Amino acid sequence: MSGEETDKVTPLRPKRPCPECGRPSARETYPFCSTRCKQVDLNRWLSGSYAIPVRDDEEDDGEEPSQ
């Protein structure tokens, strides 16, 4: 490979802003910019700040409610 060919490396992922602070993401901590932002996000998941919404009319067992 010549020097010209190695300069044209396509990035694996597009650059995106960090979901926590908005700075450019880093390859080592993608999609976050730093280990700190990555850990802040993990703490929010573990503490229950983030939750997947569930409708009240859904049953746990998937059966129709009896009347």
Closest C-alpha among 52, 17, 51 to residue 37: 17
The answer to whether 17 is annotated as binding is no
Q: Is the pLDDT of residue 58 over 70?
A: no
pLDDT score recorded for residue 54: 86
Q: pLDDT digit string (tens) for 3-50?
A: 555 577 776 667 789 999 999 999 899 999 999 999 999 999 999 998
The answer to whether 10 is annotated as binding is no
Quick one: tokens of 20? Answer: 């926590």
pLDDT score recorded for residue 67: 56
**What is the DSSP code (8-state) at residue 38?**
H
pLDDT score recorded for residue 55: 84
Phi-psi region of 38 (alpha: psi -120 to 50; beta: other; left: phi over 0): alpha
Q: Where are the domains of the chain?
A: 15-47
Q: Is the pLDDT of residue 61 over 60?
A: no
The answer to whether 21 is annotated as binding is yes
What radius of gyration, in Å, describes the C-alpha atoms of the chain?
Answer: 21
The answer to whether 16 is annotated as binding is no
pLDDT score recorded for residue 57: 77
